[in-house]
Amino acid sequence: MASNNSGQGKGSSNRGFASMDPQRQREIASEGGRAAHEKGTAHEFTSEEAREAGRKGGQARSEKNRMNASNNMGNSSNSSSDR
């Protein structure tokens, strides 16, 4: 079966959204967002939904920080410059 990598040797395809230029990705995503708003199917967060999302994000971040702190206790080789 033929491959479309054109002998790049990376083993990855040059097809699909992820292989596009980041500027082109933004353009396509923007078009989709505009179309969804025009169609009326775009989700718009209420202030309550936004508040809940922020709370969950803060909890997840806080939990991650606590886990990192407990994993680094007594380990003097770690410094703040490693983060």
> What pLDDT is stored for residue 80 in this prediction?
53
Q: What is the domain partition of the chain in residue ranges?
A: 44-71
> What pLDDT is stored for residue 72 in this prediction?
81
> What pLDDT is stored for residue 64 in this prediction?
82
> What pLDDT is stored for residue 25 in this prediction?
93
Q: What is the pLDDT along the chain (83 residues), one digit of tens a residue?
A: 444 444 444 556 788 888 999 999 999 999 998 999 899 888 888 999 999 999 988 888 888 888 888 888 765 555 555 55
List % helix, strand, coil for the chain (3-state, nearest 5). 60, 0, 40
- Say whether 16 sits in a helix, a strand or coil: coil
DSSP state of 61: H
pTM of the full structure: 0.39
- Distances from the Cα of 8 to the Cα of 5, 18, 19, 24, angstroms: 6, 17, 13, 22
Separation between Cα atoms, residue 19 and residue 21, nearest integer Å: 7
